[in-house]
Amino acid sequence: MIKNDLLLKALKGETVERPPVWMMRQAGRYLPDFMKLKEKYDFFTRCRTPELATEITVMPIRQIGPDAAILFSDILVVPQAMNIEVQMKPGVGPWLPSPVRSLEDVQKVHVPNVHEELQYVFDAIKMTKQELNDEVPLIGFAGSPWTILCYTVQGKGSKNFDLAKKFCFTNPAAAHALLQKITDTTIAYLKAKVAAGVDAVQLFDSWGGMLSPADYQTFSWRYMQQIIDALKGQVPVIAYGKGCWFALKEMSESGAAALGVDWTCTARNARYLSGGSITLQGNFDPSRLYSPPAQIRKMVHQMIDDFGKDAYIVNLGHGILPDIPVENARAFVDAVKEYK
């Protein structure tokens, strides 16, 4: 039995004394101990070494005290497993030397045996579960197929993912073939994560808001729905779409346990658009963690009042920024724990 099961209760919509809290990217670069490891090991070495991934995952639990751990990894380990080279370039971010730009390129992409290509992730989950010793739940995650396509076609991060969109709109058959391969791989990957011991999973549709509502249904949501359907009954799924307020109604009817909301959507609108009964997660602006701790506490309490303490998970609207002071991150978490 997990000692602190607030997250799991909130995902079931149960009444809680206070909402649970965790932060996207909490196992990362704002922590001084993480930066020490970063100086010694490159990014994908940290992802591929279960001992390092475990250490990084547990770090914020010990130092910040959130109610859940999220496995240190990256959404781009999935395309790596699919025969697509992905590098992490300092100062640049993700870099794919041979982007997928044609049907021929798509045909070279394979749906792997996840246990052959990604076993290091499942080993890290088992090791992390041992280290956590049932203190808090462990969240596993994956990128949405659309978000993975954005990187594999664009070849790097982008403000608008114009090449990814052009590929979808000029070569839809190839785009859908690629999206289906990513979906099939992601389903196998997440099922293996569940078997390894994660207590919940989150789907990150970080670039869903780049699409119009109609194109979102065509190129993103239908594939996320396949993943949710495949995992339903096995594990609670949190669906997070940045900038995807327009899809909250469809998302709420999907079988997902919770929906992530970014800071551009108010609590009131999120509750209204999602039908008022599903658990919501979010939506503190990550940049607001630059505010003084006293102000962070005040804003967090207001946010909980706005969402309501039940069917709610306190989180940021996107990942924590790298130069946030540790005491400010701690103030965010402590504010939730102090909530009455």
Task: Establish whether 212 is an annotated binding residue.
Answer: no
> Is there a contact between 149 and 175 (Cβ–Cβ < 8 Å)?
yes
Residue 219 is labelled as binding a ligand: no
The gap from C-alpha 39 to its chain's centroid, in whole angstroms, comes to 25
Number of residues in the chain = 340
Buried b (16+ CB within 10 A) or exposed e, 228-247: bebbeeebbbbbbbbbbbbb
Question: CA angle at residue 46 from 43 to 48, to 5 degrees?
Answer: 110
End-to-end CA distance of the chain: 26
Is 251 in contact with 259 (CB distance < 8 Å)?
yes
28 labeled binding residue = yes
C-alpha dist (Å) from residue 138 to 5, 22, 83, 157, 195:
11, 11, 28, 28, 13
Q: What is the DSSP string of 258-270?
A: EEEE-TTS-HHHH
189 labeled binding residue: no
Tell whether 44 is in a known binding site.
yes
206 is in an annotated binding site: yes
74 marked as part of a ligand binding site = yes
Q: Would you list which residues are annotated within the binding site for substrate?
A: 25-29, 44, 74, 151, 206, 318
